[in-house]
Amino acid sequence: MAINIEGLSFHYGAGKNVKQILDDINLTVEPGQITAIVGQTGSGKSTLVQHLNALLLPSGGQVVVGDQVVTSKTKEKALGPVRAQVGMVFQFPENQLFASTVLEDVMYGPKNFGKNDEEAEALAKKALIQVGLKEEFWQHSPFDLSGGQMRRVALAGVLAMDPQAMVFDEPAAGLDPKGQEELLDLLQELKAAQKTVVLISHQMDQVLALADQVVVMQDGRVAAIEAPDQLFLRDRQWFLDHALDLPEPVAFAKDLEDHGYHFDHLPKSVADLAEQIKVQVNWDRVTVPNSLTGGDRDE
């Protein structure tokens, strides 16, 4: 299911007190792809994604979700199908937990959209398995779980509604490295299942590794829409001007290029960068540290 944003604008207030938040946003988010939205604090990222499932209505323009069109005049009763199709995972989603057991919490969404108890339970169990939460925890209070486990319950609550699109607002915030790795695996699974995935992130290494397209926001407008391989070829000054960091392997590669190295392709990881460096210097025997490759290698 594609999402098309056409001439979207959004403001608060009126008259002399109007505050423009978004201005003339045009963007297509394709199914089976991960779209990353990046930009400094206050650039309009969160406001933009809240239009994708009609938590906010446009002041101008429209958002087309599948065959549902949302404008400033769309009535509340017409928004249900949009919200059912687009799941929203907020930063620290565990703050949204409320039920007495994990299973009841995850069943709430499907029941709210019309599923009976049997259907909702089946969807909830499937989602809990998908996020890797063991069955032994399903009858526990979600508030007795660890922070990482609570995050899984919250994610399962959105997955159980089986939305065609999912929006993640800084989903890795506060997770340990293992939890971040599991989350990234889940995003790849959703992509493989042809879901439409939108990700707000300030972690450029994750954006480089995951995204099919990157939307750069600045002052409520789109500054760039490019594939990572194109975006991160821009010069350092462009990233400074847009208050963005470079992914670690890209920053290191640019440093080396300043000293005469040439890379055949943009390194997607530190391990990829290490392999390209080996080719550049033509070492016959190089030990690549375990921290770069995930295992000891001596070639």
Catalytically annotated residues: 170
* 117 in Cβ contact with 110 (< 8 Å): no
Contacts with 207 (C-beta within 8 Å, 6 or more apart), sequence order:
36, 38, 199, 201, 214, 228, 247
* Residue 148 burial (10 A CB sphere; 0-12, 13-18, 19+): middle
Query: Rounded to the nearest 5°, which phi and psi values hold at 258?
Result: -65, -20
> How many residues appear in the chain?
299
CA distance 136 to 114: 27
Instruction: Provide the terminal-to-terminal Cα distance of the chain, rounded to the nearest Å.
Output: 46
Whose structure tokens read 């909830």?
A: 124
